[in-house]
Structure 1
Amino acid sequence: MADYDFSQDLSEARAKFETIALAVDLDALRIRISDLERQASEPNLWDDPDKAQHITSKLSASQAQLRKLEEVQQRLDDIETLYALGAEESDSDSIDEAREELSQTRVSLADMEIQTLLDGEYDDRTAVMTIRSGAGGVDAADWAQMLLRQYLRYAERSGFKAKVLDTSYAEEAGIKSATVQIEGPYAYGKLSVEGGTHRLVRISPFDNQGRRQTSFAAVEVIPLVEPTDHIDIPDSDIRVDTYMSSGPGGQGVNTTYSAVRLTHLPTGIVVTMQDERSQIQNRAAAMSVLQSRLLVLKHEEEAKTRKELAGDIKASWGDQMRSYVLHPYQMVKDLRTGYETSDTQGVFDGDLDAFIDTGIRWRHQQRKEAEAGAEATND
């Protein structure tokens, strides 16, 4: 019976690996790596630092993906050999080691499977996340700041590079809004499932009567544009305002008109930036974020007809998508996927992998259903 169970588990693991390898397309991945290596070896690569960083980052991520796939394939072969030898020699230690190795490998395969679901056009991009306080007064501002900390901790745990681009502080406590850029492999694809309204229920630390308070914050996630995206914005469509930076910062930041506010007149989109010391740097950063938002808007308009054909999809991204309850019990629950945990402190400390993974699977299923609905409508 034990042999049968192990063989079945190993067969399932191999089948999952083959599915992942097919989705990744190993031949195409190797060709992409070869092309990136050629570009990275060009003598004038670093004449354009941004382009060079983009190429080297892509190359590093692609090489890591190929290496991980090859390592898992070899690991499955080694596990099979180890178990066979253990069974032949009645070596229980070798059999137990093979089972443990297979269990760990199956976890690795589950992680790799998630990445194959990140097949959107911009999923491998850097993410730009904006957090805004909503209904709930000072508690909402405090909640927005808690969410900012949560995502910064998530980035740290994930090995991502995070940079706060702009912060608007509330008068009493917390923040009105904050924009943070998070860079890492598939940062946008992973964090895009965090977009929506987040609700917090707790005993308010700002209420001297100790009453329970419900507060809300909105999270927006967009992909950072790249030079190849070609989002042209005429100067006549932009109003530029400069002002002194606010909040914590060095003397050079807070005493010069280095902060920049860009207003895109046709759409009313406003982007502010005050992280950099110079007005030129802030304007460039603000323009990049504005282009990202216009890119998202463009693709939303293009997809509108397809969405209408597909019908309404449950749990719209603009609606409340997650509840964090601290009183009268401890729970964080995603209202789209149904996934929940009582480890609220772990979530606040950035342990979001389970929520993000289930969110990616949920989104993938929603897209499949939408495509099937559109095809049925067209037929």
Structure 2
Amino acid sequence: MSAEFEADLKDLAGKLTQVESVMGLDDLRAQVADLEQQAASPTLWDNPEKAQQVTSQLSHRQADLRRVTGLRQRVDDLEVLHELAQAEGDQASLTEAQNELAALVAEVDALEVRTLLSGEYDDRNAMITIRSEAGGVDAADWAEMLMRMYLRWAERHDYPTQVYDISYAEEAGIKSATFKISASYVYGTLSVEQGTHRLVRISPFDNQGRRQTSFAHVEVLPEVEEVDHVDVPEKDIRVDVYRSSGPGGQSVNTTDSAVRITHLPTGIVVSCQNEKSQLQNKAAALKVLQAKLLQRKKEEERAEMDALKDGGSSWGNQMRSYVLHPYQMVKDLRTDFEVGNPSAVLDGDIDGFLEAGIRWRKQAANS
């Protein structure tokens, strides 16, 4: 093997060994075996809540185990491939080996970042709400662009998504939207996206072609599971029903199936209009409300830490700036990670920002 390739492969194998150690492969295998035994029990579904918890955990743990063992197998296979290619002078196979090495480096780095996610809810699905802020019609358009960015990111990773509610603005874009992305550790991964995102561009809605700065806020919450026991008494909520609407305020159905829930003690308002029936919309809206109440509870428990955080002004809690004019750049204001291709970022290529954010948060917690 060439000395450079051999050194790079050795470094990669060593990093993967460290990742395996942090993940605790033996414990992970034991967890999978135990959950498989529970899932095979004929009485599992006698308790639907417990069954959902077991099957969800099993799916996540199996995915983790497949991911890390698959990477180890590929690293081992790569060494053999390169040795054979070297011995036979097969240039095509040597190129294939180099490409595979580059791909493996990226995937092991991503898995290493995943090991930094150790928060209580990091392994859960993510509930994301995007709201337009200062900037008028440009801000509403910007909020819709951000929604597309996250949905495209999920699509790139084959993560299922579910849109709960979209409130369309009158001229263009959206006032707000709430959707779920389902995957192991997706909440922990996307939680670093929470905050105000700032866009600078020539406004497509200004007939004088002036530069416009607009803002949108991203909220990321963990999906509530049955074990969280977030009780929402009926007396604490007001349920309103209305007809679902699409862009421009047009009605998209003829029945009052959309649901808006107001939590009276806190004033939190959530809505859902994308399910087929009023009952389904109410159930989905309750899930969003429970996620917000769980987050509120945790924030109250961490009140002393929260007091150290930035305020809620558009400028004060900015976390990323997207500049389309007079130059092209997207920059994270916390990590200083930046790229010069906003189009790719807005098309869902945000993994570099996510990795930098997770590493930054871990360093800040340890400092």
What is the identity, as a one-letter code, of the residue corresponding to 1:300? E
Deviation for aligned residue 1:242: 2.1
What is the identity, as a one-letter code, of the residue corresponding to 1:342? G
Q: Which piece of structure 1 moves more, 149-158 or 46-55?
A: 46-55
What is the identity, as a one-letter code, of the residue corresponding to 2:347? D
Where in structure 2 are the equivalents of 1:214-363 lying within 5 Å?
214-247=213-246, 254-305=253-304, 319-363=317-361
Where 2:302 maps in the other structure, the secondary structure is helix
Structure-2 change in CA distance of 1:99 and 1:193 (3 Å): same
* Cα pair 1:159 1:184 within 8 Å, conserved: no
What is the identity, as a one-letter code, of the residue corresponding to 1:69? V
Deviation for aligned residue 1:304: 2.5
| Distance in 2, Cα, partners of 1:78 & 1:252 | 57
Structure-2 change in CA distance of 1:28 and 1:206 (3 Å): same
Aligned position for 1:377: none
Q: Which piece of structure 1 moves more, 252-261 or 360-369?
A: 252-261
Where in structure 2 are the equivalents of 1:157-196 lying within 5 Å?
157-196=156-195
Aligned position for 1:111: 110
Where in structure 2 are the equivalents of 1:137-176 lying within 5 Å?
137-176=136-175
Deviation for aligned residue 1:280: 1.7
TM-score, length of structure 2 as denominator length: 0.88
Deviation for aligned residue 1:91: 5.1
Structure-2 change in CA distance of 1:258 and 1:82 (3 Å): closer
Structure-2 change in CA distance of 1:137 and 1:289 (3 Å): same
* Cα pair 1:313 1:366 within 8 Å, conserved: no
| Distance in 2, Cα, partners of 1:315 & 1:365 | 24
Deviation for aligned residue 1:272: 1.3
Q: Which piece of structure 1 moves more, 68-77 or 108-117?
A: 68-77
Q: Which piece of structure 1 moves more, 8-17 or 333-342?
A: 8-17
Deviation for aligned residue 1:44: 5.3
Q: Which piece of structure 1 moves more, 91-100 or 30-39?
A: 91-100
Structure-2 change in CA distance of 1:104 and 1:351 (3 Å): closer
Structure-2 change in CA distance of 1:49 and 1:174 (3 Å): farther
What is the identity, as a one-letter code, of the residue corresponding to 1:321? M
Where 1:283 maps in the other structure, the secondary structure is helix
* Cα pair 1:252 1:277 within 8 Å, conserved: no
TM-score, length of structure 1 as denominator length: 0.85
Question: Cα deviations across residues 120-148 of structure 1 (Å, max 9, x unaligned)?
Answer: 11111111100100001111111111111
Question: Cα deviations across residues 225-276 of structure 1 (Å, max 9, x unaligned)?
Answer: 0111111123232222222222269x99632222222222222211111122
Q: What root-mean-square deviation, in Å, do the aligned CA atoms of Structure 1 and Structure 2 show? A: 3.1
* Cα pair 2:311 2:317 within 8 Å, conserved: no
Structure-2 change in CA distance of 1:281 and 1:253 (3 Å): farther
Structure-2 change in CA distance of 1:92 and 1:161 (3 Å): closer
Q: Which piece of structure 1 moves more, 59-68 or 94-103?
A: 94-103
| Distance in 2, Cα, partners of 1:325 & 1:92 | 46
Deviation for aligned residue 1:112: 1.3
Deviation for aligned residue 1:16: 1.2
Count, aligned residues: 364
Where in structure 2 are the equivalents of 1:14-163 lying within 5 Å?
14-43=13-42, 45=44, 55-80=54-79, 101-163=100-162
Where 1:254 maps in the other structure, the secondary structure is coil
Deviation for aligned residue 1:363: 1.5
What is the identity, as a one-letter code, of the residue corresponding to 1:358? A
What is the identity, as a one-letter code, of the residue corresponding to 1:335? L
| Distance in 2, Cα, partners of 1:162 & 1:316 | 30
What is the identity, as a one-letter code, of the residue corresponding to 1:361? R
Where 1:121 maps in the other structure, the secondary structure is coil
What is the identity, as a one-letter code, of the residue corresponding to 1:26? L
* Cα pair 2:246 2:252 within 8 Å, conserved: no
* Cα pair 1:199 1:320 within 8 Å, conserved: yes
| Distance in 2, Cα, partners of 1:194 & 1:286 | 23
Structure-2 change in CA distance of 1:248 and 1:58 (3 Å): farther
Structure-2 change in CA distance of 1:102 and 1:153 (3 Å): closer
| Distance in 1, Cα, partners of 2:310 & 2:131 | 25
Structure-2 change in CA distance of 1:328 and 1:174 (3 Å): same
| Distance in 1, Cα, partners of 2:313 & 2:99 | 41
Question: Cα deviations across residues 346-373 of structure 1 (Å, max 9, x unaligned)?
Answer: 111111111112111111212222xxxx
Structure-2 change in CA distance of 1:183 and 1:75 (3 Å): closer
Structure-2 change in CA distance of 1:205 and 1:26 (3 Å): same
Aligned position for 1:376: none
Q: Percent identity?
A: 58
Deviation for aligned residue 1:175: 0.9
| Distance in 2, Cα, partners of 1:312 & 1:302 | 15
Where in structure 2 are the equivalents of 1:2-17 lying within 5 Å?
3=3, 5-17=4-16
